[in-house]
A = this chain, B = another copy of it.
Amino acid sequence: MDIGEIARRAGVARSTVSYALSGKRPVSVETRRRIQQVIDELDYRPNASARALKEGRTRTVGLVIPPAGPRLTSMQLDFVGSVVEAAARVDLDVLLSPSGGDRDRSLERLISGRRVDGVILMEILMEDSRVARVAQSGVPFVTIGRVRDPDATWWVDMDYAALVGRCVDHLADLGHRHVALVNRSPALMAAGYSPGHRARDGFAEAVARRGVSGSEFCCEDDVAGGERCVAEILATRPSTTAIVTVNEAALPGVQRALERAGHEIPRTFSVAGIAAHQWAEEFHPPLTAADVPSLAMGTVAVELLAEHIADPDAPAGHRLFMPPISLRDSTGSVPRPSARPAFFSPAAPRRFREADAD
């Protein structure tokens, strides 16, 4: 079912069919009609490989995701979903590459096999060997997140440092003097995970600026990790009255551990942070947080990549998102000492919970 077949049945030359389809040369209406009719009949569509070979582009972009290892987090998934949707809207296909290192076979195939016109990378490390590999290959790419020194590369990111700083500001304004940062897992931090490090820096800057005391805790990215982490905070920093968290997967555990310790949010303890909208709303009570605009970020990443592909020599484009912090119900003014539960201790069994304030 190739273009020659169409040409034969329509009684024209192969090139005429091609021009009729592309419109790059005028074709008489009558001829075009005959050709279109045959095409519809046979449901013909040009062979993508032949076209890619000739045109030198594949109309495909690669999306490098972390190897599923433990599992993809819902935020990562949101990015995947939004990138795929945005790409589909402009008729680009998305090839997935689960690559953790710079020599993963699937990444090599994408790049040196010229399977894609461009690449989007996510879950970026401060020094990222995958980014280095793609950069070296010369294939246009955009990162969701950014490396330590990102000026020369195309990226879209969220301003973790500033947003964490704003959370600290918000809590300091409410009178909190002892704030803890619940950051991402030790393994991720050790790998140089970029949002974690920028959150760390922003936190340090903000607590210094506001003159409050702050301690950082690296927390496994799951519910159990959140429980352990809060227990540790309450045990080692008992004066803490508020948490800033960038670890959304730990949120249910954070909530559970605080409840178990007898805390009532926000009356006796405040929590703010950065999280996907969904997680913020499912927190109990709804979490005061900067909602990760994953949909917009994925969309913009595709737009930037399309620009970059169209003009490889254009100066690198960037887009730093700074979503507002949505005030929900998880932050309040610092508790008077008497309002703190008398019996709280990380291991204390749950006894009761007071009625909700009216």
Q: Which residues of A does B touch, CB under 8 Å?
A: 43-50, 52-53, 58, 60, 63, 65, 67-68, 71-72, 74, 77-78, 80-82, 84-85, 88, 91, 93-98, 104-106, 108-110, 112-115, 223, 252, 256, 278, 281-282, 284, 349-353, 355-356
Contact = CB atoms under 8 A, between A and B. Distances in A.
A106 B77 contact: no
Contacts of A91: 105-106, 109
Task: Indicate how many identical chains form the complex.
Answer: 2
Contact of A85 (B98, B112, B252): B98
A71 B60 contact: no
Contacts of A352: 352-353, 355
A62 to B, nearest CB: 9
Nearest to A57: B49
A98 B16 CA distance: 33
Contacts of A49: 49-50, 52-53, 58, 114-115
21 contacts: A43-B112, A47-B114, A48-B113, A48-B115, A49-B50, A49-B58, A49-B115, A60-B95, A68-B81, A68-B85, A77-B77, A80-B80, A88-B97, A88-B104, A88-B105, A93-B96, A93-B110, A256-B284, A352-B352, A352-B353, A352-B355
Nearest to A54: B49
